[in-house]
Amino acid sequence: MTMQTDTNRAGWATAAILVGRLVFAALFIMAVSFKLMGIKQTADFIAAAGFPIPLVLAWLAALLELGLVAAFLTGAFFSEAALVAAVYVVFLGFSFHGPSHWKTNQSEFGFFVDHFTFMTGLLFAAANGPGRVLTLRRGWLSRT
């Protein structure tokens, strides 16, 4: 029995990883842009969810999202960033679209579930890393 190498797979896999990194970065660029364009509105939304010091939390969220964008674009600390983003996304899902919101608005359940879909992609990305190209090889987690 001989083993064959699929040379096309490497090309499409590399492209898929780069597109995935760009999609993750674009989503967080949009999120941080909305926060920065309306930091007061973001703080009001955070306050409405019952969190203290909403303006501070809004700025911290913006800083976190900027860091995630940098990691996704450069590949530096990519797996670590993807894990942090996965936790962040699930936290946001429960905090702003969780079960307490479903009674008043059924579409909130869909928003809630979407966060888990996003988290799944982030976990897969964390486990597989930033790919071989256009990547700064920095990080604390090793993939075996």
Q: How much is the mean pLDDT over the chain?
A: 90
Are 68 and 85 spatial neighbours (Cβ–Cβ below 8 Å)?
A: yes
The 10 Å Cβ neighbour count of residue 12 is: 10
Over the stretch 13-53, which tens digit does the pLDDT of each residue have? Answer: 889 999 999 999 999 999 999 999 999 999 999 999 999 99
Our measurement of the distance from residue 138's CA atom to the centroid of its chain's CA atoms, rounded to an integer in Å, reads 18
pLDDT band at 4 (very low <50, low <70, confident <90, very high): very low
Reported pTM: 0.86
pLDDT band at 5 (very low <50, low <70, confident <90, very high): very low
